Amino acid sequence: MKNWRTVSISLLFLCCAATLTGCWSRNELNELSITSATAIDREGDEWVETFQVVIPSAISTGIGITGGGGGSPVIVYSTKGRTIREADLNSVFESPRRLYFAHNRIIVISEETARRGLNPILDVYLRNPDSRETVDVLVTAGKSRKILEQMMQIQKIPGDGIREINSVEAKYTSALPEVKMFQLAMSLSSDSASALLPEIYLSGTKDTSSVSDFENTSLPSKLKLGRVAVIKQDKMVGWLSRNEALGVAFIRNKVKKALVSPACPEEDGKSSTFEIVKSKTVLKPSLKNGKLHVKVHIKARGLLSQTDCKSMDLYKPEVIKRLEKDVGEDISLKVQSGWKSLQKLNTDAVGFADLAHRKYRKEWRAWQNNWDEVFADIQIQTDVHVTISNVGLSNQPINVDKLREGKK
């Protein structure tokens, strides 16, 4: 009886095991090409997709940019197709490993591609589970493949380095946004139907696509963040400068930290540097004669990190108030500059359509069909309050001559 019970239990376990699928869908690492960055260009009606693929042996053995060896940590190649997905799959004709996008950090889109439309790119990244919607999206004025070919200082894998640059800039200066694919889709599907994307470009005299360039202490060229691309519907319509982009960031309440350098009163060519450590913007819409007006209330707090203004005694309260006013006026000028540029492009990248929809639901029924005309007539008024919480250890600019006189 005991033996029969043992056999029955064993048969039961075998039946259960037979129903288990196991790791039938596993991906072996030695069968995959780990993609750290992708780029998209257009050639006529074809899509050109470029992949920056990590070389595992270069990473594991420590050779490459930071290890002092002579091998490149990545390889870059392109494929073509009538669709983006077809270009992806065409990689199997020249690569012994299947592309793996789970570690993809950025996607760089050429200006030409962005002006022709982003809908196909959004479709690919939001439809397929192997395409990460958390990648950072950037735009470049030339061919996007050129960006992926460049090596970077400090960071071994360029795709990781570009993403870190974008993240650090957004955290400390707030002029250029860090935009992920799903955020781009959400912005373009909102009432405003617009978005902002950072520009990445190559500055310098020549490429840094060779590891041999890193034998010198100074590189001939570098990858840098530049302007901000303005997207309307799904097409790029123009650029904003950094100052204009910072002004727009204030309106959108996206400023974490920033630098403002107001000019010294009555001192030509000299200025101070004010570091904003906290900023908050409140938008108050109103209707005047049937037209939408928006009051932009900005409260900023920070510290004075440098000044060349010799005529100011920073220990006097009236001087601090004057400096706070100057900083506020500088912020107001940036806001107005960014706002005027958006109105010229007729693109609601500040999200006023969403604001109007929430505040004036009855009027929105008429506005939503001709929002471009409504947006062109919107007037804004800035109200900036700045608090300087710290001016440092000196009430005037450091001057070695005065220091020498003080010792006598």
> Is residue 105 in some structural domain?
yes
Structurally, the chain folds into a number of domains equal to 2
* Whether residues 283 and 225 fall in one domain: no
List the chain residues with pLDDT less than 50. 24, 62-64, 66-68, 403
User: Do residues 276 and 257 lie in contact, with contact meaning Cβ atoms separated by under 8 Å?
Assistant: yes
Amino acid 62: pLDDT: 47
Amino acid 108: pLDDT: 97
Q: Print the domain residue range for 137.
A: 28-240
* Whether residues 324 and 355 fall in one domain: yes
Torsion of CA 365, 181, 241, 286, to 10 degrees: 20
Residue 294 CA to residue 250 CA, distance in Å, equals 14
Residue 399 CA to residue 401 CA, distance in Å, equals 5
> Is residue 19 in some structural domain?
no
Amino acid 68: pLDDT: 46
* Whether residues 139 and 251 fall in one domain: no
Amino acid 32: pLDDT: 78
* Whether residues 221 and 248 fall in one domain: no
Amino acid 29: pLDDT: 54
> Is residue 378 in some structural domain?
yes
Average pLDDT, the chain: 86
Amino acid 63: pLDDT: 40
The answer to whether the Cα torsion of 336, 337, 338, 340 is positive or negative is positive
3-state secondary structure of 208: coil
CATH number at residue 347: 3.30.300.210
User: Do residues 39 and 148 lie in contact, with contact meaning Cβ atoms separated by under 8 Å?
Assistant: yes
How many CA atoms are closer than 13 Å to the CA of 256, on its beta-carbon side?
Answer: 11
> Is residue 23 in some structural domain?
no
Strands 106-110, 221-232: pairing kind: unpaired
* Whether residues 190 and 329 fall in one domain: no
Amino acid 212: pLDDT: 74
> Is residue 293 in some structural domain?
yes
User: Do residues 49 and 40 lie in contact, with contact meaning Cβ atoms separated by under 8 Å?
Assistant: yes
Last residue of a domain, one of 211, 240, 269: 240
pTM recorded for the entire structure? 0.86
Residue 154 CA to residue 328 CA, distance in Å, equals 37
H-helix segments, 201-316: 242-251
DSSP state of 264: P
Which is nearest to 334 in space by CA: 230, 241, 265, 239?
241
Amino acid 66: pLDDT: 47
* Whether residues 120 and 233 fall in one domain: yes
> Is residue 10 in some structural domain?
no
Last residue of a domain, one of 192, 218, 240: 240
Last residue of a domain, one of 240, 257, 291: 240
